[in-house]
A and B are shown apart, each in its own frame.
Chain A
Amino acid sequence: MLNQFAFIGCFLLVALTFGIAPPALAWLFRPKKPNPRKSQIYECGMQTHGETWVQFKAQYYTFAIAFVLFDVEAVFLLPWALAYNALALYAVIEAVIFIAILLVGLFYLWRKRALEWM
């Protein structure tokens, strides 16, 4: 048991060295001559125009959450649909109840005007 953990310990050490060594060596040996052009961001996205502290509309998140909800529903329903022919009536009713609960949620969102962009 302990031997196996020692193996994991060695592995961890090797992994860490492997990750840390190249940047450390590069930092040691590379020439250090910065100039403004070199300090620019390179392939790290666009340079920002104007204020960086932009505020996003929080309403976006209600859409995102509703989307995730139905996304997960699809994930659950896929295996159910694939095994549909082999399933008992019981499983079909369960899935219908599951969809019905989510539909109540959608109905609620709609009636509470969470789906309107304000």
Chain B
Amino acid sequence: MSDKEALWIEKALRGDDKAFGNLVEKYQKPVFSLCYRMLGNGNDAEDAAQESFIRAYHNLKRYDSNRSFATWLLSIASHYCIDRIRKRRLSTVSTDVLPAEIIQDRNAPIPDKEFRAKEKEALIQKLMKDLKPTDRAAIILRYWHDYSEIEIAETLDLTVSAVKSRLYRSRRALADAWLTSEEAVTVNKRRAHESPAF
């Protein structure tokens, strides 16, 4: 954690909303991204991300400065999303609603690229829709946030062996989902066309 962040936290603990606002500004994207991948649509992700920051603000006294602030925030967001999915008993996740805004890290978006991004997003949600909420959170943290198994365990309040087991099970489910999806057929066809004939 940087000195600036430590200062913001200290000020926020004294009731300075603006200081916490700086933290919201800094971490809005990772938190929103996690919520979006968990809940599958922009509106729910916005609501969950906002609520996660509110909870973080109200529980800031409980934050242990020896821990990473990002991990602590993502832990709050993950638990909130897991509870939300469980409460609403979302058996399927809507893939109709797309993210509020897709930021392209490289060049300016072009329509074709945007279309492919939407398709990819729909595929991601389709692959993950049958995962249990906690398994889904573990996969998201592993693949999109590059978290190690230890960090995932810390974020989701699980043991490392439980994380390993959940990731193992989830990979199996994802592979099965891939094999049964239309995308697999498309990719295989594309590869067949690309491969040189022997």
> Is B one of A's binding partners?
no
Enumerate chain B interface residues (CB-CB to A < 8 A).
none
Enumerate chain A interface residues (CB-CB to B < 8 A).
none
